[in-house]
Amino acid sequence: MAVQISPSILAADFARLADEAAAVPNADWLHVDVMDYHFVPNLTLGLPVVEALRKATDTPLDCHLMIADPDRWAPQYAEAGAGSVTIHAEAARAPIRTLREIRSLGARAGLALNPATAVEPYEDLLPELDMLLLMTVEPGFGGQRFLDGVLPKVRRARDLIARHGGRIWLQVDGGVDADTIERCAEAGADVFVAGSAVYGASDPEAAIDKLRAAADRAIS
Ligand code: DX5
Ligand code: ZN
């Protein structure tokens, strides 16, 4: 699978989201971090902002739900036009039902795992997934340091995915920059979320090109 870059608007200017989306025409996705003050100790945005953003850009939205009740809310993000909706395994009470609902509404279904959550217990859920997201920081805030300790899990996840036909995308999120992206790509990730490394750069579009080139180099 070709490398995909999903810049996180958490590091963008929330007062100018349409402009910030337009600043990254080379992005494959826009990563939208939804936080609710319960699953994580931070609050960001919700459905109304996703609906507005959907109208303001053609770039597909990659919604990462860091919320306490994803079973209740995730389908509405699919209905709002998100191209991909990712729920956390630690929060979902009926992940299979919710993932199926996301898919039936036409979005890609993703499952996210915190750094300390093992991937092996979720092997039987892989057929329900279009993407597995491995957090490489504790969720809640941008600008944190990449956790190298997650890399062995990225490798194990890549092996599990290969055993299940290799169809599922493997996303990493947190502390991904021009340096750490190489280690993630070598370990088997193919979708890369980057907040500060893109929106903290003076030229976000050039930053994406740089990240993509570094990941491509690491894989080849
Ligand atoms: C963290 C969020 C990330 C965050 C990444 O909880 O899920 O998507 O925006 O930001 P950086 O790339 O700055 O670590
Ligand atoms: Zn995220």
CATH of the domain at 17: 3.20.20.70
Given this model, what pLDDT does residue 112 score? Answer: 99
Q: Over range 33-44, report the average pLDDT.
A: 98
Angle between helices 180-187 and 151-163 (to 10 degrees): 30
Angstrom distance (rounded) from CA 130 to CA 107: 9
> How many degrees, rounded to 5, is the angle at CA 85 between CA 151 and CA 181?
30
Q: Which ligand is closest in space to the CA of residue 40? A: 1
Angstrom distance (rounded) from CA 142 to CA 129: 25
Pocket mutation for ligand 1, best pick of 137, 147, 150, 191 (most atoms within 8 Å of C-beta): 137
Could you tell me the distance, in angstroms and rounded to a whole number, from the CA of residue 174 to the centre of ligand 2? Answer: 7
Q: Over range 58-82, report the average pLDDT.
A: 98
Whole domain around residue 207: which residue ranges?
Answer: 4-219
Percent of all residues in the chain with a pLDDT value above 70, rounded to a whole number: 100
Could you tell me the distance, in angstroms and rounded to a whole number, from the CA of residue 66 to the centre of ligand 2? Answer: 8
How many domains does one find in the chain? 1
H-assigned helices in 59-136: 70-79, 95-104
The predicted model scores a pTM of 0.98
| pLDDT of 16 over the 90 cut | yes
Given this model, what pLDDT does residue 35 score? Answer: 98
Given this model, what pLDDT does residue 19 score? Answer: 98
pLDDT band at 27 (very low <50, low <70, confident <90, very high): very high
pLDDT band at 1 (very low <50, low <70, confident <90, very high): confident
| pLDDT of 18 over the 90 cut | yes
Angstrom distance (rounded) from CA 147 to CA 170: 17
Pocket mutation for ligand 1, best pick of 181, 196, 198 (most atoms within 8 Å of C-beta): 196
Could you tell me the distance, in angstroms and rounded to a whole number, from the CA of residue 143 to the centre of ligand 1? Answer: 7
